[in-house]
Structure 1
Amino acid sequence: MRIRTETTEHTQADVELAGRFDAHEVPEFRASVDGLIAGGHTDLWIDLGNVVFIDSTALAELVRLSREVGETGRLRLGPVSDPVRVILELTALLPVFEVEDGPRPRAGAGGS
């Protein structure tokens, strides 16, 4: 899996994933996002648009992250690939997350 992170405004960070998001990749993902949170980035945008497979360990990690940042920040998923959306629907986790269909809106680009 490829993980790309980008910090934007003071508390905002984007994390783009590509490939398989499974138990083998969770430690690297956790280290990346925990580092962002430790740096004060609590408004996280997780781009799953290029994820071709997600397993239960990765889903549990997203739930953990949602709970962690939900106390002081915000977690949004967007976009999500069809395979990820299907798994979120089948596991009844889709309503747990704030899912956006497009890229993160940018200030000055019609977003807020």
Structure 2
Amino acid sequence: MLNVSQMNEISVLHPQGRFEAYTIGPVRNWLDEHQEVANLVVDLSGVTFLDSTALATLVQGMKHCRQRAGNLHLAGLQPSVKLIIELTRLDKAFGIYPDVETAVSAFKQSAN
């Protein structure tokens, strides 16, 4: 089950637990069904682990957003998840923010 919310017209995905090949389906399906979305936040505060499949899905989501002149931001990374993002150097590709509110606000700041 994937929770999705809206904040200031920005979609926020809230995956939970292990974000991996066996649990990635709902996120992939949402991205496939909402390809028109330009700006997206993925709240990883409830994610305890992610694998290469999850990383690839996040990168694909970022590419879709950037094709629409938008971006994908990550928020609320747990230390173990943050370490994986840093080791793969994806912290250089994604905007990473301490919480959803800050990630959403960053879209407004970049629009100004």
TM-score higher than 0.5 here?
yes
Equivalent pair of 2:45/2:75 in contact (CA under 8 Å): yes
What does residue 99 of structure 1 align with?
96
Gapped runs of 5+ residues in structure 2? Answer: none
Find the residue that maps to 2:37 and give its secondary structure: coil
CA RMSD of aligned residues (A): 2.0
Identity %: 28
What does residue 22 of structure 1 align with?
20
For normalisation by structure 2, the TM-score amounts to 0.81
C-alpha distance in 2, partners of 1:53/1:44? 20
Gapped runs of 5+ residues in structure 1? Answer: none
Q: How does 1:46-65 map to 2 (within 5 A)?
A: 46-65=42-61
C-alpha distance in 1, partners of 2:30/2:24? 10
Moved over 6 A (4+): none
Indicate the structure with greater helix content. 2
Change (3 A) 1:9 1:41: farther
For normalisation by structure 1, the TM-score amounts to 0.81
Equivalenced residue count is 105
What does residue 75 of structure 1 align with?
72
1:85 matched to 2:82? The reply is yes
